[in-house]
Amino acid sequence: MGTDRSRTINMDVKYNPKNTSVSVSPSGEIVEGSSVTLTCSSDANPPVDKYTWYKKNVTSPKASGQSYSITNISSEDRGEYYCEAQNKYGRLNSSSVFVDVQYGPKNTSVSVSPSGEIVEGSSVTLTCSSDANPPVDKYIWYFQNETFLNGCGQIYNISNFKSKDSGHYHCEAWNGRGSRNSTALMIIIPGKQTVLTAAVGIIVVVLVLILCLSGFMWFRKKASNSPSDTRDTADDGQGDTSPVYDNISGMAFTPTAAQTADTDNQDDVHYSSVHFSHSKNQEVPLYSTVQLPQPQIQDEDVQYAAVKFNLPGAATQPVAAQTAEKDPSEIYSRINKPRTKKS
C-alpha cells in the first residue's frame, strides 16, 4: 500500500508598494498655532524602506520618514499633502489629503469705487476684503472712528456723496476665530480739498513774511545803533587823527640817603598821572594819590613809567609843562614799592 503524503509549500511573493495612504492627527479642526502629524501607510513586500512627503504644487520634497509633523502650524501650511512609498521593487504615491488650517481675518483692506476723482452728488461704493478661514461672516464699517448703524455688510454704498461725507473710512472683519481692522482710507471731494490746501498755503506764506519782516526790522535797528556808537567815539577824539605812541620803560634806581631818610619818616606815596588829548589842544591831567601805611624800610625800589602821546604842538601846551620837561610828550609816573626793613 502506498501512503499519500501532502506537502505544504510557502510561496513568498515579492511586490512593490500598494494601497499607499495618508492619515492626519488630530482628525478634527486644525487651528493656527497647533501641531499636526501626517502618517504614511503602504502594503509592500519587502516592506517600504523609504517615505517621502510632498505638498501639492510644490516640486521639492517637504520631508522624509513615515511620519511628518508640523509644529505651530500657520495659514501658509494650509494645502494638500501626499506621500511616496518605495521599496526595491518600485514606488507608489498616496492620494492627497487636505490640511485645513483655521485662522482669524488677515490682510483686511478697503477699496473704493469709482477709484478716480469723487464728484459731489455722485455714488461711492466701499468694499471690505479680508483673508480668513472660515470666511468672514460679519463686517462693520466706521467713519471717523464712529460706527455706522447701517454698515454691517461687505459692501457699503454712499449715494449722493457730499462734503460732510469726506473723511476716514475703515472696516472690521469678523469670523469664528477673531477679527481684524483695516487701515483707514481717506475719501474727499477734490474741490473742497483744493480750497483747504490753498488756505493752508496762504497761512504759511503770511507766517514766513512776518518772520522775514521781523528779522529785517531787527537788523535795521541794530544798524542804526552802530553809527551812533561810532559818533560817540569820534566826539571824544574831535577828529584827532594823529597816531598815539606808548612808551613805557621801567628803571630801577638806588635811592639816595635823603630819599631813604624821607621814606623812613613818611608813608609810601604812589603817584600816577594820565593825560588825554582833546580837540581843544589842551591836556587834562588826572592825578590819583594812594597812600598805604608800610613798615619803615631802609631802601626802596623805584620804578618809572613813561607814556608818550603825539600832541598837535608844543605851543598849545601849558607853560609849566614846557619849562619842566624838555619833551612835552613824556609823562613820568613814580611808583614806590616798599620793602621790609633789613635786619
The answer to whether domain 15-99 and domain 104-191 are alike in fold is yes
Alpha-carbon distance values, 184 to 57, 110, 173, 308 (Å): 36, 8, 14, 85
* Residue 44 pLDDT: 96
- The C-alpha cell at 237 is 577824539
pLDDT at residue 8, rounded to an integer: 64
SS3 letters across 238-278: CCCCCCCCCCCCCCEECCCHHHHHHHHHCCEEEEEEECCEC
Q: What is the pTM of this model?
A: 0.50
Could you give the count of Cα atoms lying within 13 Å of 117 in the half-sphere of its Cβ? Answer: 7
Give the start-to-end residue ranges of the domains of the chain.
15-99, 104-191, 252-337
Task: Select from 2.60.40.10, 3.30.390.30, 3.40.50.720, 3.10.20.90 the CATH code of 104-191.
Answer: 2.60.40.10
Q: What is the pLDDT along the chain (343 residues), one digit of tens a residue?
A: 555 555 666 678 999 999 999 999 998 899 999 999 999 999 999 999 999 999 999 989 999 999 999 999 999 999 999 999 999 999 999 999 999 999 999 999 999 999 888 889 999 999 999 999 999 999 999 999 888 867 789 999 999 999 899 999 999 999 999 999 999 999 988 764 444 555 667 887 788 889 888 887 887 777 776 555 544 444 454 444 444 444 434 443 444 444 444 444 444 444 444 444 444 444 444 444 444 445 444 444 545 555 455 545 444 444 444 444 444 444 454 555 555 554 4
Residue with cell 566826539: 235
CATH of 15-99, one of 3.40.47.10, 3.30.428.10, 1.10.10.410, 2.60.40.10: 2.60.40.10
**Pick from 269, 281, 274: nearest CA to 316:** 281
Residue 5: φ, ψ to 5°: -110, 130
Answer whether 247's CB lies under 8 Å from 307's CB. yes
Q: Residue 339: helix, strand or coil by DSSP?
A: coil
The residue behind cell 613809567 is 305
